[in-house]
Amino acid sequence: MSLPADTLLAITDTLGYLQHHLQELTECQNTLEHTINATLVGLTAQLQQLTQLITAPAPTVAPSPIPTSPPPISPPSPVPSAPSKQWTRPKLLSPPDFSSEWSSSQAFFNSCTLYLHLAPEQFSYDEKKILWTLAFFKDGRAARWSENLFRQETDTGIFPIQSWAHFEQQFQSQFFPVNMKADAVNTLKGFSYYQGNQTVDDYLDSFLTLVSDTRYTDPWTLVVKFHRGLKSNIQGQIATMPFGRPADTNLEAWYAAA
């Protein structure tokens, strides 16, 4: 009995497919076997290397040298320091004896104040300053005023002047001219303060004293007074200066120009 033609064709196609698929499987098997064999060879070589490392004798290590301590380092020699410069106080001169002349009262008090400022370690409290200053009241009205202070201390047990500021106030009221400011103002209104035969430096010193006593502060007034008191030739020199003539309100410039 023969099969139909279409059936035979289908069987032929199926057989061809199966043969082709079998061929592919055979090739895959060969590739897999080759891969397995290569992997086995690699693992075998690694196992041999590990075996050799395990069975090889350990290398001998030379003992480390014992460190020796370094020689002691001597400390550096100290560098001698330069001698320090110490301030040396100049030799102080005691104030002159005071007998209450008005003309010398300011100079005497300034001398005492200067000494006290330059030697503060000698005067730890105000009463010591006052007693030291009174030691120079040796004659005239000054000596009598000093004796009166000590008499009050004897009667009351307390020295009547307790602070240096109070002493300065009492000294000025007792020994400075009563109308010192008015006298200075009147002097600057007259001619007695003029330079005359004095040097410019001496004239300037006396003029500054008068200015301090008058308490004048207006620069224009002071320039006018100063200019008027200068010798006429010096006035002319300043007036005819080709350049740099001081302004009429610059007192310091007038002092320098004179």
pLDDT in tens, 159-175: 999 999 999 999 988 88
Q: Specify the pLDDT at position 230.
A: 93
Q: Specify the pLDDT at position 67.
A: 57
The pTM (predicted TM-score) of the whole model is: 0.47
Q: Specify the pLDDT at position 158.
A: 93
Q: Specify the pLDDT at position 27.
A: 78
Q: Specify the pLDDT at position 229.
A: 92
Q: Specify the pLDDT at position 30.
A: 78
Q: Specify the pLDDT at position 144.
A: 93
Ranges under pLDDT 50 in the chain: none
DSSP output for the chain? -PPPHHHHHHHHHHHHHHHHHHHHHHHHHHHHHHHHHHHHHHHHHHHHHHHHHHHSPPPP-PPPPPPPPPPPPPPPPPPPPPPPPPPPPPPPPPPPPB---HHHHHHHHHHHHHHHHH-GGG--SHHHHHHHHHTTB-SHHHHHHHHHHHHHHHHHSS-S--SHHHHHHHHHHHHS-TTHHHHHHHHHHSSTTS-TTS-HHHHHHHHHHHHHHHT---HHHHHHHHHHHS-HHHHHHHHT-SS-PPPTT-HHHHHHH-
Q: Specify the pLDDT at position 72.
A: 65
